[in-house]
Amino acid sequence: MSEETTKPSNFIRNIIKADNESGKHGGRVHTRFPPEPNGYLHIGHAKSICLNFGLANDYDGLCNLRFDDTNPQKENEEFVNAIKEDVRWLGFDWQERLFFSSNYFEQLYTYAVQLIEQGNAYVCDLNAEQTREYRGTLTEPGKNSPYRDRSIAENLDLFSRMRAGEFVDGSKLLRAKIDMASPNVNMRDPALYRIRHDVVHHQTGTEWCIYPMYDYTHCLSDSIEGITHSVCTLEFADHRPLYDWFLDTLKVECHPQQIEFSRLNLQYSITSKRKLTKLVEEGLVEGWSDPRMSTISGMRRRGYPAAAIREFCERIGVTKSDNSVEMEILDACIRENLNENATRAMVVLDPVKVIITNYPEDKTEELIAPKHPQNESMGTRVVPFSRELYIDRADFKEEANNKFKRLVKDKEVRLRNAYVIRCDEVIKDEKGEITELHCSYDPATLGANPEGRKVKGVIHWVSAAHGVKAEVRLYDRLFNHPHPDSDKEVDDFTVHLNSDSLVTLTESVVERSLVDAQAGTVYQFEREGYFCADSELCRDGKLVFNRTVTLRDTWAKIA
RNA sequence: UGGGGUAUCGCCAAGCGGUAAGGCACAAGGUUUUGAUCCUUGCAUCCCCAGGUUCGAAUCCUGGUACCCCAGCCA
């Protein structure tokens, strides 16, 4: 795709268009997605991934995957691998451009030495608490560190000894010498390097005992990679002067442009890595890929198609304004995709037995049903019909007004893809619970409307002898508060956890064609919703389906 | 008068001085062997507020107001 694109405009695309016209970066577009491997990616990252890779794609540019791995205490290889898998699954390709900030540690060290030589950085002996005190507050300027005016020679010596491991953690810091009175606290002599012994970095092992800070590392990594547009979220806008300061002060050739956009806030979910980590670590969910999680791996296991997530990221747009996106937009994207692509099936979630009293006991018909009612090319499936069936308990009432378009005692209903039946008798146990419905079928109604009467209701069913038992997991939103992580009334967001977010059905019966369901495949269980064969729980012939999303249900609103 | 950012329909969001796109949601019809899908129609005389400039302002100017972010040796 070139610049002549149909994608909706946004302010970043406008900047790129203007840059391309003025020749600012030589007409190049080179972005990067820079995750820190300290957790799994979530829907907010998906927005950033789609933006960065999408921009590169639309303007014939490139997008790198770069792990921002400067804090070995929180990072590990598991996260690196999970992130790569998620980005790839989302449909993006970094080709040979997989990088780590740690690839540049040596270069970064050299730049730091240059800063010291230029008199732009110094080694500071203040401890953490003192550093904070010297920094001042938002409304009061800070004051200069007593170590600020060490000689260049002393700084050079100290810094090389920091690297050599002569000093203990926290005893020294390399700091930029900028302005302790800056109204922007980020400019008050920010830390460049801290000392960290006793940690093994997932990429560099124990080679280093000093690690560079984000602000220092990020801009230079961008510059080294020849990034043109360094897109990040709004909270980094205050860091932009620092981003530019490092690049200007070091007089590097490539000076990328940092552009900030607002992060996604999805209602009834959480997009904070720290809080998602808490859910996992405290066992409040079944791991990072729990289908209720807003993680990419959770959504994948839930059955959300990658294309639907990409479409969602497209629809919500990119701006700098605070937002609160309704879950309905995501749901609409999921349904739109799955309605078009998912094979149809009949599944009885909560079975009650139906006996067709006028149907021969030993007979079975192999009825043919389309895999998709609007798309013949998807083919057909065989649905066995016999004397004993299951229908859903919710699809029967002994008495109901004619708004209830399902089975009612002494009334008729259409069995989807099969015959019209009438309920003649209701059998109950001693507790009054319905155990069987005795019905009669009209043999003339297979693929034809009954003579002289209209049957408007259609319900789904499964042949008792041919259906297969399965576990069905009904998922709902994980939280029952639209903004669980910004409710100032409570001190712990977990109080907003929805206790009904998972309802497990163990007695469901699926039609025979589903026994071979491949993990990850999403089906439409007609009249119920979209369900995905679980990738972790379908084992040894056991069938487990996750509800991806329900069908739109206008009846539920009325009833 | 610490700094930075944002304010257009319930939600998201175009708009860049020429007279308010689109999507979601919602409402009303039609088709339908999924109360699904699909189709049709409706849905901001008004763009945070108040002044001003202009033939003309959501777009420019001035002054307010509200909300978000920043004081990690996290990113």
Whether residues A169 and A214 share a domain: the answer is: yes
CATH number for position A405: 2.40.240.10
Q: Is A263 a catalytic residue?
A: yes
Residues of chain A with pLDDT under 50: 1-5
Whether residues A257 and A185 share a domain: the answer is: yes
Whether residues A324 and A456 share a domain: the answer is: no
Whether residues A296 and A253 share a domain: the answer is: no
Residue A512 tokens read as 């025979």
Straight-line distance from CA A428 to C1' B45, in Å?
A: 64
Residue ending a domain, among A223, A240, A261, is A261
Q: Check residue A489 and give its pLDDT.
A: 82
Could you tell me if residue A242 is inside a domain? Answer: yes
Q: A13, A135, A177, A273: which is the annotated catalytic residue?
A: A273
Q: How far apart are the first and last CA of chain A?
A: 48
Number of domains in chain A: 3
SS3 A486: coil
Whether residues A332 and A379 share a domain: the answer is: no
Neighbours of A15 (CB within 10 A): 15
Could you tell me if residue A465 is inside a domain? Answer: no
CA A311 to chain centre: 13
Could you tell me if residue A494 is inside a domain? Answer: yes
Q: Is A336 a catalytic residue?
A: no
Could you tell me if residue A1 is inside a domain? Answer: no
Could you tell me the residue range of the domain that residue A396 belongs to?
347-460
Q: Check residue A538 and give its pLDDT.
A: 72
Cβ contact A182 with chain B strand, < 7 A: no
Whether residues A520 and A553 share a domain: the answer is: yes
Whether residues A403 and A493 share a domain: the answer is: no
Cβ contact A445 with chain B strand, < 7 A: yes
Straight-line distance from CA A11 to C1' B54, in Å?
A: 28
Q: Check residue A393 and give its pLDDT.
A: 97
Q: Check residue A6 and give its pLDDT.
A: 63
Q: Is A88 a catalytic residue?
A: no
In strand B, the nucleotides that come within 7 Å of a protein beta carbon are 2-8, 10-16, 21-27, 33-38, 67-75
Could you tell me if residue A487 is inside a domain? Answer: yes
Tens of pLDDT, residues A276-322: 999 999 999 999 999 999 999 999 999 999 999 999 999 999 999 99
Cβ contact A552 with chain B strand, < 7 A: yes
Straight-line distance from CA A141 to C1' B58, in Å?
A: 39
CATH number for position A56: 3.40.50.620
Cβ contact A194 with chain B strand, < 7 A: yes
Whether residues A339 and A356 share a domain: the answer is: no
Could you tell me if residue A267 is inside a domain? Answer: no
Cβ contact A5 with chain B strand, < 7 A: no
Residue nearest to nucleotide B1 (CA to C1'): A139
Straight-line distance from CA A393 to C1' B62, in Å?
A: 68
CB of A232 within 8 A of CB of A69? no
Residue ending a domain, among A194, A228, A261, is A261
Straight-line distance from CA A320 to C1' B53, in Å?
A: 29
- Tokens 């999921």 sit on residue: A334
Whether residues A227 and A369 share a domain: the answer is: no
Whether residues A250 and A360 share a domain: the answer is: no
Could you tell me if residue A96 is inside a domain? Answer: yes
Whether residues A203 and A281 share a domain: the answer is: no
Residues 83-112 of A with CB under 7 A from strand B: none
Task: Using CB atoms within 10 Å of the CB of residue A356, give its burial: 0 to 12 exposed, 13 to 18 middle, 19+ buried.
Answer: buried
Residue nearest to nucleotide B13 (CA to C1'): A317
Residue ending a domain, among A460, A479, A500, is A460
What are the φ/ψ torsions at residue A36 (nearest 5 degrees)? -90, 130
Q: Which residues of A474-508 are buried (b: 16+ CB within 10 A; e: fewer)?
A: bbebbbebbbbeeeeeeeebeebbeeebbeebeeb
Whether residues A389 and A495 share a domain: the answer is: no
This prediction has a pTM of 0.97
Instruction: Looking at A284-415, list the stretches that DSSP marks H as alpha helix, in order from N- to C-terminal side.
Output: 296-302, 306-316, 327-341
What are the φ/ψ torsions at residue A461 (nearest 5 degrees)? -160, 165
CA distances from A240 to A143, A237, A243, A338 (A): 22, 5, 5, 42
Q: Which residues contact A153 (CB under 8 A, 6 or more apart)?
A: none
Could you tell me if residue A321 is inside a domain? Answer: yes
